[in-house]
Amino acid sequence: MAWRYRCGTCNTTWGWMSKTNASDLRDRHRDQRHGGGTPDGEEFISNAASATDDPQTLIVFGALLGLGALAWIWQQITGT
């Protein structure tokens, strides 16, 4: 997973890098350009895909949750 920092005030964006490097870059940029303050419109972005972006992932998760619920109900009925 990679991270990227974008300053909304300067409209400056840096490329993808590790979270530690992006965080260090953000801190240096804040200190050098904005007196240590948080600029408006600042974004700290990850390229990780959200599970809600992939419907197939939600279907699999729902199926596993449903099977788990059925197993629990079966166990309650049979007393096993």
pLDDT at 8: 87
> Distance between CA 80 and CA 61 in Å, rounded?
26
Name the nearest CA neighbour of 13 among 4, 21, 22. Answer: 4
pLDDT top residue among 17 and 54: 17
pLDDT category of residue 55 using cuts at 50, 70 and 90: confident
Asked whether residue 66 carries a pLDDT value surpassing 90, the answer given is: yes
Task: Express each pLDDT in 6-17 by its tens digit.
Answer: 898 888 888 899
Task: Express each pLDDT in 27-39 by its tens digit.
Answer: 999 999 888 888 8
> Distance between CA 44 and CA 51 in Å, rounded?
19
pLDDT at 24: 92
